[in-house]
Structure 1
Amino acid sequence: MRSGDAEVTRIFKEKVSTRAARRPELEAAVQLAGEIRSSGVRVTLVVHEHKRLGRGIELALLAEELKASDVGLEFLTGELQGSHGPSGIVFTVLAAMSGMEREYIPDRTLEGHESARKRGKTIGGAGVSDGNMLSMALHLREQTMSLRDIAKRLVITTGKKKGRHPSPATVMRMLREHDEQTATAAPESTA
């Protein structure tokens, strides 16, 4: 039983990633919600937060399925916390937010790595950069290219990752270390 006048019919628990191709518990919850709604009973699917429903096109398809079945949504936490009727705009917003979230994950990962390094934590495996890679990265940075674009143009020449591109985090670290060494080596000017 939840607070208010609603009764929880069944709880579905799923601990797989929202990137997984099949999510049996979510599929079963949506199917049951549709069946109950078809009998004339108002149904609201309650989810911890919108991110647990899925991402990108899968989320857009799920939102359309719930809307077509006239099933409402309620989020316990997050930006969309609260109850949302099936005719509301939240179903459109879900797909847009989900797509945006995927775009920001790499940026948040880079920020997390940077924060860990500042705390003295070691991130990543063996070094993959060399002098030639650094020279090319510096040249590309002068052209105001993003870290992702620079990484796409560089190729690792040694080790187990030979022939692959370095990650944007590796490029960021390589350029940051170069900048720090250059700043340390430069003579201090006096005024």
Structure 2
Amino acid sequence: MAANTVKISSPHMSSLVSSPELDAAVKLAGEIRASGVAVTLVVHEHERLGRGIELAMLAEELKASDVGLGFLTGQLNGSHDPSGIVFTVLAAMSGMEREYFRDRTLEVHESARKGGKTIGGAGATDDDMLFTALRLRDEELSLRDIAALLVISKDAKKGQHPSPATVLRMLREHDEQVATAANA
């Protein structure tokens, strides 16, 4: 790696937005640049840094420090002047694209629910799983730990563990039912 390249490597994170790793890398890049060395912050793809306004805000911060920005893959592949109009437009479009996919996914899920289909792991849960999850939550275990201790007893995923998102959904639905019953 060249002496004037600051590398961010965080394979287990879907985004580095507001992360200590990103903050440290931006700070280090600014310090190196202040010493007179040209610096380009290089990441795998722009989505690691954020989308839309998040990416534009980071670009402004890098521009203020006179630090370049580069991406190894994705829509913004290559080096960019963080203040450039092309970069700004592409960053905004990536944010809009994410919102479009999110909205479209929600529409498809709502249509499936109206058609009587279950989404995600909702059909794989049962009362025994719920009671165990409630007990484990009372013991202050994380959703990930609770999911690792539960086992699906029916359907195609029999014998597998539910996802933390399924556990969260199951617990939220239970809490909503309890709150509704208490208010009735």
Taking structure 1 as the reference length, what is the TM-score of the superposition? Answer: 0.50
Determine whether 1:62 maps to 2:87: no
2:170 match: none
Q: Encode CA deviations 1:131-182: one digit per residue, 9 max, x unaligned.
A: xxxxxxxxxxxxxxxxxxxxxxxxxxxx8566xxxxxxxxxxxxxxxxxxxx
**Preserved CA contact (<8 Å) 2:60 2:83:** no
Amino acid at match of 1:77: T
Instruction: State the Cα distance separating 1:89 from its structure 2 match.
Output: 2.3
Pairs within 5 Å for 1:156-171: 160=174
**Preserved CA contact (<8 Å) 1:43 1:71:** yes
Q: Distance in 2 between matches of 1:109 and 1:8?
A: 42
Q: Distance in 2 between matches of 1:56 and 1:77?
A: 17
2:13 match: 16
Q: Encode CA deviations 1:24-79: one digit per residue, 9 max, x unaligned.
A: 10111111011111111100000111111113433222111001111111110011
The structure 1 residue matched to 2:49, chosen from 47, 50, 53, is 53
Q: Distance in 1 between matches of 2:85 and 2:93?
A: 12
1:30 match: 26
Q: Do the aligned partners of residues 49 and 98 (structure 1) sit closer, same or farther apart at CA in structure 2, a change above 3 Å counting? A: same
Q: Do the aligned partners of residues 19 and 104 (structure 1) sit closer, same or farther apart at CA in structure 2, a change above 3 Å counting? A: farther
User: How many positions carry a matched residue from both structures?
Assistant: 121
**Preserved CA contact (<8 Å) 1:74 1:83:** yes
Identity %: 72
The CA RMSD measured in Å over matched residues stands at: 3.4
Q: Distance in 1 between matches of 2:47 and 2:86?
A: 13
Q: Distance in 2 between matches of 1:36 and 1:49?
A: 22
* Structure 1 unaligned regions, length at least 5: 114-121, 127-158, 163-191
Determine whether 1:72 maps to 2:94: no
The structure 2 residue matched to 1:102, chosen from 81, 91, 98, is 98
Q: Encode CA deviations 1:101-151: one digit per residue, 9 max, x unaligned.
A: 3312325646997xxxxxxxx74324xxxxxxxxxxxxxxxxxxxxxxxxx
Q: Distance in 2 between matches of 1:107 and 1:58?
A: 19
Amino acid at match of 1:63: A
Structure with more helix by fraction: 2
2:85 match: 89
Q: Do the aligned partners of residues 90 and 38 (structure 1) sit closer, same or farther apart at CA in structure 2, a change above 3 Å counting? A: farther
Instruction: State the Cα distance separating 1:91 from its structure 2 match.
Output: 4.2
**Preserved CA contact (<8 Å) 1:19 1:55:** no
Q: Do the aligned partners of residues 111 and 79 (structure 1) sit closer, same or farther apart at CA in structure 2, a change above 3 Å counting? A: farther
* Structure 2 unaligned regions, length at least 5: 110-117, 124-172, 178-184
- Secondary structure of the residue aligned to 1:18 is coil
- Secondary structure of the residue aligned to 1:26 is helix
1:140 match: none
Instruction: State the Cα distance separating 1:94 from its structure 2 match.
Output: 4.9
Q: Distance in 1 between matches of 2:44 and 2:104?
A: 22
